Chains A and B, each alone.
Chain A
Amino acid sequence: MPGVRPVGSKRGHAHNLPSPEEARRTSWRVSLALLVCFLVTLPALHTILQGFGWWFAMAGTVLAVLGAAALARVLSVRRWVPAISGSLVLLALITLFFSGRSAFLFVIPTFESFGVFGDLGQAGAASIAGQSVPADVTLGIAFLLCLGVGVLAIAADFLAVSRRLPALAALPLAVILAIPPFIGIELSDVFVFLLAAIAWLVLLRAGQPFPQTGRAIGLGASALIVALLVPIALPRVDDSLASGDSFGGYLAGVNPVLSLGNDLRRELPRTILTYSTLSGAPTYLRLVSLQNFTAETWAPDPPEIDRDNVPSRVGPPPGLSADVRVEDETTWVDVQNLGSPWLPVPYPATLVSGLSGDWFWNAKDLTFTSPNRAARGEVYKAQSLQVEPTPAQLTAAGRVVPEEYSAYLALPDGMPPIIAAEAEQVTAAATSDYGKAVALQEFFRNGAFTYSETAPVDEGYDGTGMEVLAKFLDVRSGYCIHFASAMAVMARTLGIPSRVAVGFLPGDKQVATVDGRTQYRVTTLNVHTWPELYFEGIGWTRFEPTPGRGFVPTYADEATPGVPTPPAPSAAPTPTPTPTVAPPRSAAPVDPTGSAADAARQSAALGWLWAALVVFGVLILLLIPAMVRGVQRAIRLRRLARGAPLVSTGWRELMQSATDLAVGVSGTATPRDAASVIAASAGLRADDQAVLDRVLERVERESFSRTAPAGAGIERADQVRRILQSMRSATGWRTRMAATIAPRSIWRRVTGVSRGD
């Protein structure tokens, strides 16, 4: 192996070099132990994934990859061959399973296959972003799982078998174990953790040519303790993402629906923004609207930025005709803590001024997005309209749905029948779409529904997918997101275009005033969603189905004269009339993959943040040995410079660095032998050789002569530094890198294994 160098006279007879036969048997043993490690570690994901089919898929992938690497090891002694072979098998495997049709001979990927992979990856990311735990394993998620575990298996095989550092195989395994606590510490399964730890100990033992059980158990126990402590010590991801101090604030990223429940359940409300209005009346502030309803979730459109849509000239509210009464309103907003790429504004805004970043509005829903910054820190003035249609106008709007609004009627296939049936029954008595909308709102507000932020989580139906809604209609308990999405979906089944708005309730009135205007404070408790229904001639109108939250707009309030009073839900059942117009299924068929891909694009920002965090954590872990060695070196050289014996400082450092740099210095070599090995492997120049000779002479005198010679410590420290420098520069960059990141001396001490490698 490249790491072995010609060694001094003593090394030729070292007896602890495993024979090739023994090494081969050890490598099979380690491969097998590694497989077991993966098999018992994978169940850690059971808290976040539904079913168990994924385990077989992932286990099969690991088996194939490790098997390919082990076979390659039989055929070649080169260290990279098993990793390459494992990668090829992984590629062939995912090609076969995920894009067999577009592949050549089923396993050789074509350009098209890579396109399929890209789509699957995006779809998988979107599913992950769009689902709550435990998540359904969609094809995209399965793809990501197999690819991910395959890559981890290759890494683990390379570390544990090729590099013969079985202890390091804990890193890839820890990645798997870290996923559930990453999402929530309560999701980690201690039993699986223990099993994985035991399997890892077995791996450690399997990897030792001369097993030392006691040491391995001691090591394993300490590793276990560290592993249990680290997740506790590390900041939780959602905390750090949501705390706003470092990562941007609340409702950051992806699909704002997802973190909403967590924000609502937060015990200590945190201020997001403050605002005041010209009229002094409180107002809803809207961030974004969700148009796309898939089987799994409501999702916003991908952000489209039209740079002509500057906030100083906001386009007309869609669908609003001139004969509807409007009033002007001005709102001053001070955003303190909000990581969202959307700006909280009242709907419909006509002009926003005072913004410091680049913000552009979207013509479809008048939301404001920035391509490059979050809303945090913006202080601005928003002018908006208060649309006050009369019930008569709303009733008159009829049920004309313009062509461009047909997308707001799209429903996924396979909707649970309860949703449409319930909608029909609730609105049976209503005569107009407006009446039906009011009936739906009343059904939720005054019916048998209760508001609960925890029930959906406890009962396992948190989220916005259609299965969740069906469950919600059955259990009749939930929070704003359930009410808003249920009403929006039911409106769609009735043929009324709808969408879900995400934003904030008006918040709490403050005692203090600003410029004589009443201040309102919006906190994490005021995060809210509500449905918006479209009526031709009036535009998007807000409804408030969540019981006990916010306020119902005048035009939807039963107290307002002219607003149709829906019959009580318990009224004698009237024969359900067949709808006169069948609710149009999506005019433009909604491609779940397509909209998921959109969501994936939005999730990119958060995804990168997560990835960066993980990479950062791994980097820190990887740097620990390097830091230990660096500190050790500094301390020794300083002690040497201050006159400590060379033997216990500089010489020890030289020996340890030689070990790190894979210079084959035996632990039992005499100083003279060690020096000649170093000189031979580093190819020292004549002047450096002279320096090494002086260092050696001093070491010998210190250790073996009657009196140690006097001399300046600082000079000796410089000599040691110079030899270290020459040794490093004489080795290849890979060896240097390995010496820095994974110093053999440390691992050897940790694992107690001394190898000829």
Chain B
Amino acid sequence: MAQATDSVDFASFHALTGKILRGVETVIDGKREAVELALTTVLAEGHLLIEDVPGVGKTMLAKALARSIDCTVSRIQFTPDLLPSDVTGVSVFNQGRGEFEFKRGPVFANLVIGDEINRASPKTQSALLESMEEGQVSVDGVTYPLARPFTVVATQNPVEMEGTYPLPEAQRDRFMVRISMGYPDDLAELAMLKRRELSSPLDALTPVVSLQQLSDMIAMVRGIYVSEAVEQYAVSIAQETRRDRELRLGASPRATLHLVRAAKARAALDGREFVLPDDIDALAVPVLGHRLIASARVAGAGSAFQSNSLADIIHRIVAATPVPLGAGASA
């Protein structure tokens, strides 16, 4: 394992991300795109929402990602009776010392897997989401900073499933990327069967990246160049979503920020030191899809239909937005 360095160069960045992707892919068959998006989110310091029907490997993806990185990982299984303190931690009275001491909850980890987040009550959900946004937890007037880097990978079932509390818009907005796993194709499913016959491939997974390396990689992603043209492009798309007649709620400024940050990570994963409009195009649906609300005319009864038509609307907006071609930063 490579020693911690101050910075990561492109070659080692590429090698490390390659290792992570290969490792995760031994667990999740045939979902390269979802895996890449997940890694993109981690590298962009965002939070990931995986939404799909049960049994397609949502949790498996989250776990595999956590295993590949040598960092603290905790897992919260959200249930309707889960309390906010079960997430953040609780102050208990230490009789030996005669004072309250704070027992840290599962949120104090680099990677927090929130399983079936929409099964918890809104109160508990917001406890997690607040800490996600602020990077800290306040209990009894004391503020405890969370670990850095900090990424929440939450999974949820589509809202029409029984016994769920759908996440409100304001909270969905805190997730950088929403991905949907989708069913594997027949070949991938067959390969999965064969591989699981003897043992779980998750057990064979070992960390390939140290915490320090992950921090360096995140720092490198932060340094990826975004030209004014691309920024303009992202802003134009966001503005369009606010103007579009088929949308009731457009993209927030935070969405634009997330879009550009995710695009930086995607560019780095692609081996580029600058962001292309194509990065924005590719990330528009995963980053914006869960934040927009279609107007009543478009919104159907089910969310599957709605997200499909939302994806269509985003595609349409992206297709209609001209790509500014500046004559370059330097001629």
| A interface with B by C-beta (< 8 Å) | 9-16, 645, 647-648, 651, 666-673, 699-708
Give bound CA distance, A670 to B325, whole Å.
9
Q: A706, B276: Cβ atoms under 8 Å? A: no
Give bound CA distance, A703 to B328, whole Å.
4
User: Is B204 on the interface with A (CB-CB < 8 A)?
Assistant: no
Tell me the smallest distance from the CB of A641 to a CB of chain B, in Å. Answer: 15
Q: B321, A672: Cβ atoms under 8 Å? A: no
Known interface pairs A667-B322, A700-B276; A15-B316 also in contact (CB < 8 Å): yes
Interface string of B313-326 (1 = CB under 8 A from A): 00110111111111
Q: Which of B274, B319, B321, B327 contacts A645 (CB 8 A)?
A: B327
With a 10 A CB-CB cut-off, give which of B229, B281, B323, B326 has the most chain A CB atoms.
B323
Tell me the smallest distance from the CB of B200 to a CB of chain A, in Å. Answer: 37
Known interface pairs A10-B281, A647-B325, A672-B276; A705-B227 also in contact (CB < 8 Å): yes
CB-defined contacts of B316 to chain A, threshold 8 Å: 13-15
CB-defined contacts of A16 to chain B, threshold 8 Å: 320
Give bound CA distance, A14 to B319, whole Å.
6
Q: A703, B227: Cβ atoms under 8 Å? A: yes
From residue 177 to 233 of chain B, which have CB atoms closer than 8 A to chain A? Answer: 225, 227, 229-230
Cβ-closest 10 pairs across A and B: A705-B274, A702-B328, A13-B315, A10-B319, A670-B277, A704-B227, A708-B328, A706-B225, A645-B327, A13-B319
Give bound CA distance, A444 to B268, whole Å.
104
CB-defined contacts of A13 to chain B, threshold 8 Å: 312, 315-316, 318-319
Give bound CA distance, A472 to B326, whole Å.
77
Tell me the smallest distance from the CB of A191 to a CB of chain B, in Å. Answer: 44
Tell me the smallest distance from the CB of B51 to a CB of chain A, in Å. Answer: 22
Q: B278, A701: Cβ atoms under 8 Å? A: no
Q: B327, A648: Cβ atoms under 8 Å? A: yes
Give bound CA distance, A444 to B320, whole Å.
83
Q: A704, B274: Cβ atoms under 8 Å? A: yes
CB-defined contacts of B281 to chain A, threshold 8 Å: 9-10, 670, 673
Pull 27 A–B residue pairs with CB atoms less than 8 Å apart, ordered by A: A9-B281, A10-B281, A14-B316, A14-B320, A15-B319, A645-B328, A647-B325, A651-B325, A667-B322, A668-B319, A668-B323, A671-B323, A700-B276, A702-B327, A704-B225, A704-B229, A704-B275, A704-B276, A704-B326, A705-B273, A705-B274, A705-B329, A706-B225, A706-B273, A706-B329, A707-B330, A708-B328
CB-defined contacts of B330 to chain A, threshold 8 Å: 706-708
Q: B321, A668: Cβ atoms under 8 Å? A: yes
Known interface pairs A673-B278, A704-B227, A706-B274; A668-B322 also in contact (CB < 8 Å): yes
Known interface pairs A668-B321, A671-B323; A701-B277 also in contact (CB < 8 Å): no
Q: A647, B276: Cβ atoms under 8 Å? A: no
CB-defined contacts of A647 to chain B, threshold 8 Å: 325-328
Give bound CA distance, A645 to B326, whole Å.
10
CB-defined contacts of B323 to chain A, threshold 8 Å: 668-671
Q: Which of B227, B320, B325, B331 contacts A699 (CB 8 A)?
A: B325
Q: Which of A11, A14, A673, A701 contacts B328 (CB 8 A)?
A: A701
CB-defined contacts of B315 to chain A, threshold 8 Å: 10, 12-13
Q: A672, B278: Cβ atoms under 8 Å? A: yes
Q: B318, A10: Cβ atoms under 8 Å? A: yes
CB-defined contacts of A666 to chain B, threshold 8 Å: 319
Tell me the smallest distance from the CB of B299 to a CB of chain A, in Å. Answer: 19
With a 10 A CB-CB cut-off, give which of A647, A651, A699, A703 has the most chain B CB atoms.
A703
Closest A residue by C-beta to B331:
A645
Known interface pairs A13-B319, A14-B320, A666-B319; A708-B329 also in contact (CB < 8 Å): yes
Tell me the smallest distance from the CB of A550 to a CB of chain B, in Å. Answer: 78
CB-defined contacts of A699 to chain B, threshold 8 Å: 325
Give bound CA distance, A703 to B281, whole Å.
16
Give bound CA distance, A304 to B225, whole Å.
87
Tell me the smallest distance from the CB of B138 to a CB of chain A, in Å. Answer: 41
CB-defined contacts of B325 to chain A, threshold 8 Å: 647-648, 651, 671, 699, 703
Give bound CA distance, A14 to B278, whole Å.
16
CB-defined contacts of B321 to chain A, threshold 8 Å: 668
Closest B residue by C-beta to A655:
B325
Tell me the smallest distance from the CB of A70 to a CB of chain B, in Å. Answer: 32
CB-defined contacts of B328 to chain A, threshold 8 Å: 645, 647, 701-703, 705, 708
CB-defined contacts of B276 to chain A, threshold 8 Å: 670, 672, 700, 704
Tell me the smallest distance from the CB of A667 to a CB of chain B, in Å. Answer: 7
Give bound CA distance, A672 to B316, whole Å.
18
Q: A670, B278: Cβ atoms under 8 Å? A: yes
Known interface pairs A645-B331, A699-B325, A705-B273; A11-B229 also in contact (CB < 8 Å): no
Q: B329, A707: Cβ atoms under 8 Å? A: yes
CB-defined contacts of B324 to chain A, threshold 8 Å: 703
With a 10 A CB-CB cut-off, give which of B324, B327, B328 has the most chain A CB atoms.
B328
Give bound CA distance, A671 to B230, whole Å.
12
Closest B residue by C-beta to A666:
B319
CB-defined contacts of A673 to chain B, threshold 8 Å: 278, 281
Closest B residue by C-beta to A652:
B325
CB-defined contacts of B322 to chain A, threshold 8 Å: 667-668
Give bound CA distance, A16 to B317, whole Å.
12
Q: Which of A12, A668, A707 contacts B320 (CB 8 A)?
A: A668
CB-defined contacts of B318 to chain A, threshold 8 Å: 10, 13
Q: A703, B326: Cβ atoms under 8 Å? A: yes
Give bound CA distance, A708 to B225, whole Å.
13
Give bound CA distance, A667 to B278, whole Å.
15
With a 10 A CB-CB cut-off, give which of B229, B318, B327 has the most chain A CB atoms.
B327
CB-defined contacts of A645 to chain B, threshold 8 Å: 327-328, 331
Tell me the smallest distance from the CB of B17 to a CB of chain A, in Å. Answer: 20
Give bound CA distance, A672 to B325, whole Å.
12
CB-defined contacts of B312 to chain A, threshold 8 Å: 13
Closest A residue by C-beta to B329:
A706
Besides A647-B328, A706-B225, 20 more A-B contacts (Cβ < 8 Å) are: A10-B315, A10-B319, A12-B315, A13-B316, A15-B320, A647-B327, A667-B322, A668-B320, A701-B328, A702-B327, A703-B324, A703-B328, A704-B230, A704-B277, A705-B273, A705-B328, A706-B274, A706-B329, A708-B329, A708-B330
Q: B319, A11: Cβ atoms under 8 Å? A: yes
Give bound CA distance, A701 to B275, whole Å.
10
Give bound CA distance, A10 to B230, whole Å.
17
Closest B residue by C-beta to A669:
B323
Give bound CA distance, A668 to B328, whole Å.
18
Closest A residue by C-beta to B227:
A704
Closest A residue by C-beta to B267:
A704
Closest B residue by C-beta to A704:
B227
Tell me the smallest distance from the CB of B7 to a CB of chain A, in Å. Answer: 17
Tell me the smallest distance from the CB of B71 to a CB of chain A, in Å. Answer: 31
Interface string of B269-309 (1 = CB under 8 A from A): 00011111110010000000000000000000000000000
Tell me the smallest distance from the CB of A732 to a CB of chain B, in Å. Answer: 28
